[in-house]
Amino acid sequence: MAWVYILKCSDGSYYVGSTTNLERRLWEHQNSFYKGYTSSRLPVELVWSTDFPTEHNAFLFERQIKGWSRAKKEALIRNDWDGIHQIVKQERKTRETKKRKAS
């Protein structure tokens, strides 16, 4: 089993990660075990997580949501799937409008 998780950092930003041991990985983040994004934004708070049957599945979903907008991540944290769909529609509409204006 593997996990995908979202941490809220002290500066209000979000960090997305995946792991096979969520408890250990949270401890590593909180204790700056690795120098990186979260170590300079402590403390961090776990705001969302879900499990996957394999590391590969977790990794793929982690990569997907890392590219999401803040609004989509916040909808996911709220488990608001309808909100995610609405945001996707709005983002698509905005991209199409920009593309038309650029033409």
Q: Where residue 99 falls among pLDDT bands split at 50, 70, 90? A: confident
Residues 90 and 59 in one domain: no
Mean per-residue pLDDT over the chain, rounded = 95
* 92 and 61 in a common domain: no
Two tokens at 2?
A: 């593997």
Q: What is the pTM of this model?
A: 0.89
pLDDT at residue 103, as a whole number? 79
Q: How many CB atoms lie within 10 A of CB 73?
A: 20
55, 76: one domain: no
**Measured between alpha carbons, how far is residue 101 from residues 50, 68, 94, 95 in Å?**
40, 24, 11, 10
Query: If you write DSSP's letter for every residue of 43-93 in order, what string do you get?
Result: SEEEEEEEEESSHHHHHHHHHHHHTS-HHHHHHHHTT-HHHHHHHHHHHHH
Domain holding 15, by residue range, is 1-67
Strand 44-52 and strand 14-19: the pairing is: unpaired
> Do 61 and 76 belong together in one domain?
no
8's enclosing H/E stretch is strand 2-9
